[in-house]
Structure 1
Amino acid sequence: MGGRESWTTEEFGSSHAGAVGVLLADGTVPAPVFFGSNSGGGGQSVSQWHVYNGGFAYGPRAAALRAVCSCGWSGPEHKLDWDVIGDQELIEAAGETADTCTEDWDAHIIEVERSAIPVPETVTSLLTELAEQIEKLSKTSSLAAVRAARQLEVTAAQVGYWPAHDARQDSTAEQAAAALGLNEDEARELMARLGRWSPCL
């Protein structure tokens, strides 16, 4: 897959990397567009949505844009009206459509959060309060805030150790991934890091 801009969240990372995807008039996804180097050697493949304008030396013309996610989810199609676009640069003419795709992906992430195993409100409230207090502390002493963040990091490692081992014993890789909102590889890596074992085991 050629390079393109994507978005992630801190919690779900590359398990749910979103991007603006392109569909052609026949409903297929186009191959990346290759841009050769001016020096004559090498180049790069790009699948950024706005290169699909059907122009000379560019890829085929996009018929629709939609949000896509690395988990395999895709959002609704948003048709492009080329009679209106005309000779405009696609990145400008379809910018609002691309923004709509971003909003579709945001809605998808909300559903991912809802489908993940719930964390009690008492815990989420404490974490929010703690984050706010450390941010407040940073305004008077950045070093004290760094130490507080480090203590939080140490605490997370300590309290996550046994739950990671218990979850490894009680859950399949598929169950753990679904509960955490991650793909199986990232769920395995997270639990291995907290439980301090090799993710290859």
Structure 2
Amino acid sequence: MNTSRPEPTPRGVKIQRKSPPQTPRRIEKRPGGKPKKALSDEDKETINSLRREQERLTEELEEERQQSEKMKNLYTGDLNYYTGIQKQAFTKIKSMLSKANQSDPHIVEVIRLIDLYNQQETGFIPDTPRVAQLADEAREAEMATDKHKRENRNLKQAYKTLCQELHDLNDKIAEAETRLETITAKRKETHTTLHNFIEKCKQREAAWKEKVASLEAKIEAQGE
């Protein structure tokens, strides 16, 4: 009687079992259809660093604008100040000449020039040497007759005071011109610096945008 026995399983041999079918993992997708992936710490730090750099550049630009505005106000203030000094000086001169002989055409001409100057808003400056020449001619005309000797003495004193006033005025004008030249040069330098700074900001902004776009493209590529 033949009996069949099952063949023994070799020792140490594992029996492989079939694994149950795996359910595909659901991946959240962006509206564009690509999987969403969080930024790494390094990417976040890069973006934050770029933003901080942009804020710093914006603050520097604002400081340059404020400095330029201060220079503009200083220039305007100095111009108004020295224009006022000129008008006061010529008003005094006119007051002195008004006490002299009004029939002298030279004195009348000087007064006319002073009135013309006072009507100007842009600081018209009469020809200083011509004012002195006209005063000399007026003095010589007064000395021609005995009738005007008394007036001549007053005119000589007025002329002496006038010369001193003109001398002081010329000193102040020279000082004002020197200061205005310095301010103008500084303003030009500030304008050039500001222009270069703005161009530099534009270049940095373009580089920043390009880097951010490259980083976004890299992130999207990694998520595919």
Please give the TM-score of this superposition, normalised by the length of structure 2: 0.22
Indicate the structure (1 or 2) with the bigger Cα radius of gyration: 2
Structure with more relative contact order (C-alpha pairs < 8 Å, separation 6 or more): 2
Q: Greater share of helix residues, 1 or 2?
A: 2
